[in-house]
Amino acid sequence: MTAFVRSVLAEPRAPDPPARAWWDWALVGALLATAAGEAIFRPDVPWRPLATVVALVVIPALLWRRTHPLLATAVGFGGAMVLHIPLIVDDVVDAGLYTMVCVLMLPYALYRWASGREALIGTAIVAVPVTLGLAATETFGDLIGGATVVVASFALGAAMRYRAVARQREVQQVRTLERGELARELHDTVAHHVSAIAIQAQAGRAVAATDPAAAVEALAVIEAEASQTLSEMRTMVRVLRDGEAADAVPVEYAPQRGIGDLDELTRMSPLVVVRCVGDLSDLPQPVEVSVYRICQESVTNAIRHAFYPTRVSVEVRGEAGVVRLRVHDDGEATRPPTSVGYGLLGMAERAKLLGGVCQAGPDPAGGWTVEATLPREVSR
């Protein structure tokens, strides 16, 4: 039990709460207008001035329910506590406006966005007026119904928080795996260059005495290979520092696919058409592998998710300084942007690590398009 309490107290606030949007203001405005109308036209409101003032103070607190959930909860249920004054003075059970039911949004926000410590404090604040209100109910059914509604608000907030945390962990796992995969590919490339350096050094040493010009040429090759190796090693170190978990990635010994293997994507479906244009020679291995994997993932998604496509076009274009790729399907009912899966998320992370960008979404002309731009040189 002690360990559970400690873990709850150590729970931080949920990251990145949504900013206050126009519909928050619209909601609060509608609730204020409803409360004012109820206070004016509802004939059976006991302690009308108190009920009106409490509603007009509590409702605006909803604007801070995500950024300051404990404060909003304290204001909302503090107002609910004030409404128990008529119960003590005049034995009036329900002295509030019906609009005050909006405070049920606050337990949800408390468990969704607050830290563990704030959630415990907020739960205690909510418990006091809720307990007094339930104790004053006249039937057992009302007691169970009221308790269920409050508990459901808490439970929904906790469930949505758990779902967000699970999603965040899955996204982080995808990114970590992609970093590890890229680091492995860079390691293979560095090992290749180091082997070339060793061979050239041995050759230069062998001919140095008899052919100094050949030895100088070998030194030039060594210099070029060493510079490229140093650049790629710096990139690998940066990836490993960001990833911290590349060792968890299982090693694969199959040859890495590249731009020369893109034609194999046509075997996935007769709808796939591949076109490569421009200068695509002398690309670093991580760039070639990334181009292939982004195209492969995009084609796989198009085949699985596009509705009645007639064509899936893959175009890779080599330009000065960058390589651009575009995968487009002409499916009828295109999926929404939120359907982008973890595969494309990993590809976007890979492109970012190489200094490029990758994005996917519905095409204005119809269908779905994945576009990526990768630098020809691996970023340092």
Task: Say if residue 84's pLDDT is above 60.
Answer: yes
Query: What backbone torsions phi and psi does residue 379 show, to the nearest 5 degrees?
Result: -65, 150
Digit-coded pLDDT (tens) for 340-375:
556 677 788 778 878 899 998 888 888 899 999 999
- On whether the CB atoms of residues 319 and 374 are closer than 8 A, the answer is no
Q: Would you call 168 helix, strand, or coil by DSSP?
A: helix
Digit-coded pLDDT (tens) for 51-68:
888 999 999 999 999 989
List the beta strands (DSSP E) in 80-134: none
- On whether the CB atoms of residues 290 and 354 are closer than 8 A, the answer is yes
Helix, strand, coil share of the chain (percent; to 5): 65, 10, 25
C-alpha dihedral sign at 226, 232, 238, 242: negative
Residue 273 confidence (pLDDT): 93
Residue 325 confidence (pLDDT): 94
pTM for the model? 0.55
β-strand pairing of 322-329 with 368-375 = antiparallel
Of 2, 1, 7, the C-alpha closest to 115 is 7
Any idea which of 24-28, 208-212, 245-249, 319-323 has the lowest mean pLDDT?
245-249
Digit-coded pLDDT (tens) for 280-333:
888 888 888 889 989 988 888 888 888 888 899 999 999 988 999 999 998 875
- On whether the CB atoms of residues 100 and 58 are closer than 8 A, the answer is yes
Residue 129 confidence (pLDDT): 85
- On whether the CB atoms of residues 229 and 286 are closer than 8 A, the answer is no
